[in-house]
A and B are shown apart, each in its own frame.
Chain A
Amino acid sequence: MDFAGAYSPENLKFLMEGLGMTLYVAFFAIIFSFVIGCFVGVIRYMQIPVLSQVLTVIVEVLRNLPLLLIIFFVQFAVPQISFFGVQFKFTIPVGAIIALTLFEAAMISEIVRAGLKSIPKGQVEAARSSGLGAVQTLWHIVLPQGLRRMVPPLVSQFISLLKDTSLAVIVALAELMHNAQIIMGQNHNYPIPILLLVAMIYFIVNYTLSLISRRLETRTA
């Protein structure tokens, strides 16, 4: 083990660049998957015919596939498919964001649906019989209460999203794990110090997130 060599300034700078890419990809994937997941969850909760069934199939397929496969597929298979003559090609970060968004949106839609379903039926009935429309009931009554209950599972989903960005090493996205792998390849005394450092970086970021979630939970409860 060679801690001094492994933690040289150039290596640390290289790892920080990797962390930057990890956070960049995770940030956009969190935002997009949250928005899409909310829409899908609400559509399935309201049981809009046809659309709801189609989305159910898509969600079930995505949720039950390995994320690694989805990342790989988006990067290497999708560019070969022509959608009515149009072909999509992505840069590696964009492909990773799309793949993570697809997978995590499916997960989040289930959280949103479960959160909305947990609101007692009497609330909906009361709202509807006081003259609110279906959308009004959802927006003013069900969503505000449901969202509060969704915070803990959502945050743990975001934590797993952040961890899952590491799977993009398979498409050589220049994120934290990819850069760590390059440094580890320089010297066979580097792996343990580098893996320890990278583990600490992930731990600090994720643990901070889970502490924030706990704070939010006690405040809203």
Chain B
Amino acid sequence: MPDFSILTEYFPVYLEGFLNTILVSVIALIGSFVLGTIIAVFRITTIKPLQWFGTAYVEFIRNIPLLIIVWFFFYGLHTFGARMDGFQAGTLGLTVYTSAFIAEAIRAGILSVPKGQMEAARSSGMTYIQSMLHVILPQAIKLVIPPLSNQFINLIKNSSVLTVISGLDLMYFSDKVNGDSYATVDTYIFTGMFYLILTIPMSYGSHVLERRLAKSS
């Protein structure tokens, strides 16, 4: 059995990291949803340069490790005289990385809305952007919710890379607990539990949601 006195003694330290992990994940989710939607629309427009940009963005980002993007903001921006702390660089890196995956999910959702819908909206006098906003996206979003919730779980797990750049997340604070308590095994068992408190209910929830949506359609 793990030594629960570590949990009680260092609870404030754990909690700070835990809340930061949630904060990073929520900010990055919102950011990557906005960015991902824009990229998804780029990929399905008929304007070639936007299409190329969207495809290049998604293919490139999806095939490189998250750590490269995070390091780009953390180390790379120094070259241009900009400075970011670990928290900012990590959040921005997570946003960019996740947006590529979300863009793919949204694109699949948009493509699954029948073509006639867009044609009908356009011929009733709506502009492309209006028909996208009022007709296509509201229908696509239903199909996008299950993959989106999976991305959120991944986001929570991926936020642990912040520790590599001292980003004040749960892993980073666990290192402090470990440095003080020297009980590596117990310290990280509790860290794991904190992550599971977030991810297990979410993955169960997304599973239920997926089933319900599958039934309703």
Contacts and interface: CB of A to CB of B under 8 A. Distances in A.
Interface of B: 59-60, 63-68, 71-72, 75-76, 78-79, 153, 156-161, 163-164, 171, 184-185, 188-189, 191-192, 195-196, 199-200, 203
A66 B196 CA distance: 9
A99 to B, nearest CB: 12
Contact of B75 (A72, A164, A170, A191): A191
A191 B67 contact: no
Contacts of B79: 1, 188-189, 191-192
Given A61-B196, A169-B67, A191-B71, 20 more contacts: A1-B79, A60-B200, A60-B203, A63-B203, A65-B192, A66-B160, A66-B195, A69-B171, A73-B192, A77-B189, A80-B184, A163-B64, A166-B66, A167-B67, A167-B161, A191-B79, A192-B79, A202-B63, A202-B65, A207-B63
B142 to A, nearest CB: 22
A199 B157 contact: no
Give 6 closest A-B pairs by Cβ, nearest first: A66-B160, A64-B199, A206-B63, A166-B65, A191-B75, A163-B65
Interface of A: 1, 60-61, 63-69, 72-73, 76-78, 80-81, 159, 163-164, 166-167, 169-170, 177, 181, 184, 188-189, 191-192, 195, 198-199, 202-203, 206-207, 210
Contacts, number: 107
B76 A192 contact: yes
Contacts of B164: 169-170
Given A77-B188, A203-B64, A68 B59 contact: no
A63 B79 CA distance: 38
10 contacts: A61-B192, A64-B200, A66-B156, A69-B171, A73-B188, A163-B64, A166-B67, A192-B79, A199-B68, A202-B68
A64 B203 contact: yes
Interface centre among B63, B153, B161 (most CB of A within 10 A): B63
B68 A66 contact: no
A163 to B, nearest CB: 4
Nearest to B187: A77
B76 A195 contact: yes
A201 to B, nearest CB: 9
A152 to B, nearest CB: 13
A68 B70 CA distance: 15
Nearest to A159: B63
B71 A195 contact: yes
A111 B28 CA distance: 27
A132 B174 CA distance: 53
B157 to A, nearest CB: 4
Nearest to A205: B63
B62 to A, nearest CB: 8
Contacts of B68: 166, 177, 195, 198-199, 202
A9 B187 CA distance: 43
